[in-house]
């Protein structure tokens, strides 16, 4: 931890709410992004992010600084998301394609705001992000979490091991399995697209005849 972060944590542990606000502002975007990628729903992500911050605040007196604050915080966030997933595992998940897509840099429309993108560029980017989100949600929750942390948020193997409370070897093997499964799902999606395209072309040729 940086000295500034250590100071903020120390002040938080003494009940300084302003210091806690400053600390949370530093991590709110990453926390929200992790929650969103885990749930695929903006409202659920906001609720889980808020719940995670509340849990962190209540648990701060027990934080000993043995790991970095960010690792400790993301352990709480990840467990909160996985707990919520377990609660809802019997309920079908519905992902709305009408919702604007949030990324680590904000809404998709804002991501290219300075470049002045055309409608086609925005639409293509939205479709790509939607496909990624849908593929992520076909992974088991633990595999999804490790893909998000490593490939989307750039956590080190050591940070993931601490946050998920698993060994370094488990991190690597789980990540390898998650990437392999994601690759399989992607190839299956591409095969389906190709099959649908051929079917449309065949129907078009039959119609011309």
| Own/partner long-range contacts of 116-124 (Cβ < 8 Å, ≥24 apart) | none
d(CA 29, CA 1): 19
CATH number, domain containing residue 56: 1.10.1740.10
d(CA 79, CA 102): 21
d(CA 38, CA 48): 10
* pLDDT surpasses 60 at 208: no
Phi/psi at 142 (nearest 5 deg)? -70, -40
d(CA 101, CA 42): 8
Give residue 163's pLDDT band: very low, low, confident or very high (50, 70, 90): confident
Tell me how many domains the chain contains: 1
pLDDT of residue 114: 45
Give residue 49's pLDDT band: very low, low, confident or very high (50, 70, 90): very high
Angle formed by the axes of helices 42-59 and 17-39, nearest 10°: 140
pLDDT of residue 1: 66
pLDDT of residue 110: 36
Domain range for 27 is 3-208
* 99 beta partners: none
Region 11-18: mean pLDDT is 86
Q: Is the pTM of this model over 0.75?
A: no
pLDDT of residue 113: 40
Closest by CA to 142, choosing from 175, 180, 104, 191, is 175
* pLDDT surpasses 60 at 92: no
d(CA 196, CA 189): 11
């Amino acid at each position: 931890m940086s000295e500034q972060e250590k100071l903020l944590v120390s002040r938080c542990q003494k009940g300084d709410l302003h210091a806690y606000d400053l600390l949370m502002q530093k991590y709110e975007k990453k926390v929200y992004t992790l929650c969103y990628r885990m749930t695929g729903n903006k409202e659920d992500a906001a609720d889980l992010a808020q719940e995670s911050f509340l849990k962190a605040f209540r648990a701060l007196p027990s934080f000993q600084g043995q790991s970095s604050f960010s690792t400790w915080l993301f352990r709480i966030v990840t467990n909160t998301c996985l707990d919520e997933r377990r609660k809802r595992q019997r309920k079908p998940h519905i992902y709305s394609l009408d919702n604007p897509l949030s990324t680590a840099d904000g809404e998709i429309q804002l991501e290219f705001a300075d470049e002045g993108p055309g409608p086609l560029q925005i639409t293509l980017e939205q479709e790509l992000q939607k496909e990624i989100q849908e593929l992520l949600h076909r992974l088991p929750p633990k595999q999804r979490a490790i893909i998000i942390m490593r490939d989307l948020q750039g956590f080190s193997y050591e940070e993931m091991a601490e946050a998920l409370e698993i060994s370094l070897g488990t991190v690597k093997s789980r990540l390898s399995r998650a990437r392999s499964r994601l690759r399989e799902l992607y190839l299956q999606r591409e095969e389906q697209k190709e099959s649908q395209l051929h079917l449309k072309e065949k129907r078009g040729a039959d119609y011309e005849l």
